[in-house]
Structure 1
Amino acid sequence: MVLVMDVGNTNIVLGIYNGDKLICDWRLSTDSKRSADEYGIMVASLFNINHINIEEIEGVIVSSVVPNTMYSLERMIKKYFHTNPIIVGPGVKTGINIKYDNPKEVGADRIVNAVAVHEIYKRASIIIDFGTATTFCAMTQNGDYLGGTICPGIKIASEALFERAAKLPRIELIKPEKIICKNTVSSMQSGIVYGYIGQVEYIVKHMKKEMQAIGEDEPFVVATGGLAKLIAEESNMVDKIDPYLTIEGLKIIYEKNKEQTCE
């Protein structure tokens, strides 16, 4: 079995694969102050609750956009799983070509998503990841990562409105039935949710034009991340919502690099 870990700014997503089958997945809050043992106790508890023997984990792969967590996580993996994790970054085989001005600047999560889309869908694609930040990434059919766009996430936008406007409350992120609303909470929900839908559609529309201008077929649009369903279900620009895209990408990269692991 293989443990995959995606460390984001808000959450750490973990998954366990038995062969090609995802048998468990969990979500922990990201906290750079946690020690290796604290992370170890949390992960061991999840294993115990799900009746999984920690000794059966043959390898671990991690992608992270939070450098301050990595010392504790790497120590935890070595201590509790007795293996050296594969860390997604320079030197790791991905099977894609990164066309960024400086490839080292591309976040590990964006690389992992791109690998998953290239391997699973095998066509020109646009990947939207609704996380702490919302990222839009362009992939050619041949596996060239062209770059993309980074926007503030919908939760960041919502919190900024609450924190910067004295009379506006903190709201739940749900979609109101109408855009013209008759109370403050619904009006804020309408502006944030429908405004974000509009942003997604505008960016995807123009990314498609730019990709088709260089000879790609119309890109297939895949959405992932915690808030993908809320936004993507309202847009006819999104072809597929894939909540497991990132951990699928980690499993694919693990298979390409598993010879790096050693006991």
Structure 2
Amino acid sequence: MLLAIDVGNTNVVFALFDGADIRARWRIATDGRRTGDEYATWLLQLLAIEGIERSAVSRIIFASVVPRADHNLTVLATKYFGIEPLIAGQGDAAWDFEIDVEQPNTLGADRALNCIAAHRFWGGDLIVVDFGTATKFEAVDYNGAYKGGIIAPGINLSLDALVGKTAKLPRIAIAAPETESVIGRNTEDQMLIGVFWGYVAMMEGLIGRMKSQIGRPVKVVATGGLAILFDEKTDIFDIVDADLTIRGLQLLADRAGAS
């Protein structure tokens, strides 16, 4: 089985693949100081709960946007599984698509993996939207080349800034407003409208501008934890796949194994 690990700024996602199928997935808060031993203590217990032997893991690949985590995940793989891990974007797992921007080496691993998976599964011209700590919009052409994109503050970052920089505004949870009204009748409703509908308007506006600039039919693919929530209130997405980044890791690992 393949253990695929996606290290984001907020969470680390572990997914265990049996072929192309995800057998199990787990999530832990990102902490660059977490050691390989700490990862192992947590992960080995979860494998046991699922009834999966440690020896069933035959390959490991990880992608990281948190450099401090790289060494500790390598320790996890080598010390506890006896496996030299693949690292997305390096060596046998180097990117195999054109990155047509001014600074190609600055493209985040999560963004590259989303491009790989979206092109593989849906093809054509694509806009890929990933809701994470930041919200990223990627333009991928029909050849699979990355043509550029947009980075915007994630909705939770926006809310943190709003609450953190004001004395009296309360902390609220991100949720779809109960009504379609954009005129709130109390402070919490007004905040939710501003954050939620403001974000929907931002997405729709930016995607509309990207489509106009691309000038060809485009499919819009969304991923990330909040994609399903927003999909309920807008028709801007053609496809929602919460596992897009992890599936990109699986595709990359399979290509590396065949090379």
Tell me the TM-score normalised to structure 2 length: 0.96
What's the CA shift for 1:90? 4.3
The residue correspondences of 1:1-263 to structure 2 (distance < 5 A) are 1-91=1-91, 92-176=93-177, 177=179, 178-212=181-215, 217-258=216-257
SS in 1 for 2:138: strand
Distance in 2 of aligned mates of 1:180 and 1:55: 57
What's the CA shift for 1:53? 1.0
Letter in 2 for 1:188: M
Distance in 1 of aligned mates of 2:151 and 2:69: 22
SS in 2 for 1:136: strand
Distance in 1 of aligned mates of 2:248 and 2:42: 24
Distance in 2 of aligned mates of 1:218 and 1:204: 12
Render the CA deviation track for 1:14-61: whole Å, top value 9, x for unaligned: 111111111111111111121110011111111011111111111011
Letter in 1 for 2:9: N
**1:100 touches 1:106 (CA, 8 Å); kept in 2?**
no
Distance in 1 of aligned mates of 2:42 and 2:115: 30
**1:5 touches 1:14 (CA, 8 Å); kept in 2?**
yes
**2:137 touches 2:150 (CA, 8 Å); kept in 1?**
yes
Structure 1: 5+ residue stretches without partners? none
Distance in 1 of aligned mates of 2:213 and 2:88: 29
**1:11 touches 1:28 (CA, 8 Å); kept in 2?**
yes
**1:95 touches 1:143 (CA, 8 Å); kept in 2?**
no
Structure 2: 5+ residue stretches without partners? none
**1:90 touches 1:104 (CA, 8 Å); kept in 2?**
no
Distance in 2 of aligned mates of 1:218 and 1:98: 21
**1:59 touches 1:258 (CA, 8 Å); kept in 2?**
no
What's the CA shift for 1:232? 2.8
Given the superposition, is the C-alpha separation of residues 119 and 259 from structure 1 closer, same or farther in structure 2, using an over 3 Å criterion?
closer
SS in 2 for 1:97: coil
**Structure 1 vs Structure 2: percent identity of aligned residues?**
38
What's the CA shift for 1:104? 0.7
